[in-house]
Structure 1
Amino acid sequence: MGDFWVFGYGSLMWRPGFAHVETRRARLMGFRRSLCIRSWVHRGTEQRPGLVLGLDRGGSCVGLAFRVPGDLRDEVVAYLRDRELVTSVYLERQLTIQFDGGGKAEAVCYIADRKHHQYAGNLDAAHAAEIVTGAVGQSGRNEDYVLSTVEHLRALGIRDHWLEDVARLVGK
C-alpha cells in the first residue's frame, strides 16, 4: 500500500507521536475544532467533567496533515487507535482534506461521535469556559489544556476565534 495522510487538529499537531515523512497545513471542510467531548479522566472526573477537543460537524478546521509511509500503516493506525479510540467517543473516518497552496488528499480523521454519552454538544464560548474552569483530571487542569492549545495554535499561525474566546474567558 502507498503512503497515507493523517489529519491533526489538536495535540496531534504538536505531538504526533508517530513517524511521518511530510507535514503540510490543511483544511477539513464540514467539521470544526470544538470543545465538545466531556473528559472525566484526563481533564476532569465523572463528578466534575472537563472538556477536550473533538471535530464536530459544521464549518471548517485548519490543522496539519502528516504523510506516513505505507509500510508503517499498520503500526501508525494501531498507535492512533490506541490514542484516540480509548472510550470510542471518536469515529475514525477517511475524509478529504485541502492543502494550503492547492491539492487534496484523503486523510485519516477522528471526528466526534454525537451519539456517544461523552459528547457535550455545540456549546457557546461562555458555557464551555464555565465547564472548563475548575475541572481537573489525571493530566492536570482543564484550563491549562485550553490555554496551551490556543498557545500552540498561535505558534503554528492558526487562528481559532471560538477557542480563543473560551481561553479569554477561562483566563479571567
Structure 2
Amino acid sequence: MQLTCELVALTIRDIRDDGPEPGWTPLSDKELDAIVDRIEGEAGNDPLLIFAYGSLIWNPEFEPVGRHRATAYGWHRSFSLRIERWRATSDAPGLMMALERGGQCDGIVFELSAERRRQDLRALVAREIKYREVKDMVRWLSVRTEHGTRRALTFWASTKRLGLTSPLPAEQASSLIAAACGQGGSCAEYLHKTIVDLQAEGIRDRNLWRLQALVAADIIARKRA
C-alpha cells in the first residue's frame, strides 16, 4: 500500500474543536430517541443487525453477540460526504465515506445483544447521526450472509433525493483527503485504517485501493512543495 503509516503521520495536526458542523443542526435528545424508537419498531422482535462497511468495523464501541461477513448489493463505498469538522476544518474541508447507489459492498454485520439492544442502539445512533439534516441517512439494507439474506441497519447510506452527498472524481477527492485534518484525526488516517481493517477481513475494495495511491501521491507532493 502506497499510503504508509509514515505518510499518514504527515497529515496529523493538533486541531482544536470548532463546534458543530457548519450549517447543520445538532439533534436534540427527543429527536434522537424518536429515531431509536422508529428503528426498534421497524425491527420488531427480530434480531437487530448492523451493517458495517467502514470505521464501525474497526471501532464498533459495543459488544456484539454475532459477527459475520455480508454483502450489500446495489451499494458501494464512496468518499462523497463533504465535512468541515471532526477530520476536517472549514479552512481544509475533507470527505467522509458513505454508501452510494450501484455495485456491491462487502462488509460485516454485527448482531446487537437483546439485553442491551436499546442502550447500544441509542449510543450508536448518537455517535453516527449527530445532526437533524442527516437523520434520513440511517436505513435498512438487504445483505447477503452465510445464513442467507438478512435485513440490516446501516448509516450514511445516501440517495439523490437527500442531496447531501456528491461523488467526486478520484483525483479531486484525493486532494481533499490528503489535506484534511481535524480534532478526530485526518481523512488520510481514516482511509488508511479502513483499508487495513478491510484487508484483515479478507476484503479488497478496488476503489479505495486506487484512492489510497492517489492520496499518497498528493501527500508526497505537498511535502515537496
Normalised by the size of structure 1, how large is the TM-score?
0.90
Post-superposition, which runs of at least 4 consecutive aligned residues in structure 1 deviate over 3 A? 113-118
Aligned to 2:170: 125
Aligned residues: 170
Show CA shifts across 1:8-66 (max 9, x none).
Answer: 00011111111211100001111111111112111111232111111111111100001
Larger relative helix fraction:
2
Larger relative strand fraction:
1
Superposed CA RMSD: 1.8
Aligned to 1:170: 215
Aligned to 1:139: 184
How far did 1:160 drift? 0.7
Show CA shifts across 1:64-117 (max 9, x none).
Answer: 001123332211221121011113436111221101x35011111111354567
Aligned to 1:3: 47
Evaluate the alpha carbon distance shift between residue 15 and residue 47 of structure 1 in structure 2; reply closer, same or farther with a 3 A threshold: same
* Structure 2 residue 74 is the aligned partner of structure 1 residue 30: yes
* Contact kept? 1:89, 1:112, Cα under 8 Å: no
Distance 1:169 1:79 in 2: 35
Which residue, 74, 78, 85 being the options, matches 2:122?
Answer: 78
Show CA shifts across 1:114-145 (max 9, x none).
Answer: 456752x1222212101112111111222222
Percent identity of paired positions between Structure 1 and Structure 2? 32
Normalised by the size of structure 2, how large is the TM-score?
0.70
AA at the equivalent of 2:126: D
Q: Please list every run of 5 or more consecutive structure 2 residues that lacks an aligned counterpart in the other structure.
A: 1-44, 218-225
Distance 1:89 1:60 in 2: 23
Q: 10-19 or 83-92: which moved more? A: 83-92
Aligned to 1:47: 91
* Contact kept? 1:8, 1:63, Cα under 8 Å: yes
Q: 43-52 or 20-29: which moved more? A: 43-52
Higher radius of gyration, 1 or 2: 2
